[in-house]
């Protein structure tokens, strides 16, 4: 998971730019990258939208994968 968050940061060109694109604080991005916490559903969906689907919300947020499994 941390690698995916690092790839997301790389996509935007840094933690501050990623934070601005996702409308969260840079400390949130740092927390994702370091593994302190996972991305929320809302932020993951926002990330999928702003990256044009390059990063899938269900990959960024484990609870969305569970939701997909249960509703499938």
Instruction: Delimit the domains of the chain by residue range.
Output: 2-71
Per-residue confidence (pLDDT) for residue 70, from 0 to 100: 56
Confidence check: pLDDT of 1 > 70: yes
Q: Does domain 2-71 have CATH number 3.40.50.2300?
A: no
Confidence check: pLDDT of 71 > 80: no
Buried residues in 50-69 as b, exposed as e (16+ CB within 10 A): bbeeebbbbbbbeebeeeee
69, 29 in Cβ contact below 8 A?
A: no
CA atoms within 13 A on the CB side of 11: 19
Which tens digits make up the pLDDT trace of 9-49?
A: 999 999 999 999 999 999 999 999 999 999 999 999 999 99
pTM of the model: 0.87
């Amino acid at each position: 998971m941390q690698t995916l968050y690092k790839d997301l940061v790389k996509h935007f060109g840094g933690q501050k730019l990623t934070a601005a694109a996702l409308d969260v604080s840079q400390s949130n991005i740092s927390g994702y990258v370091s593994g302190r916490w996972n991305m929320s559903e809302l932020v993951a969906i926002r990330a999928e939208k702003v990256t044009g689907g390059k990063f899938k919300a269900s990959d960024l947020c484990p609870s969305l994968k569970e939701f997909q499994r249960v509703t499938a």
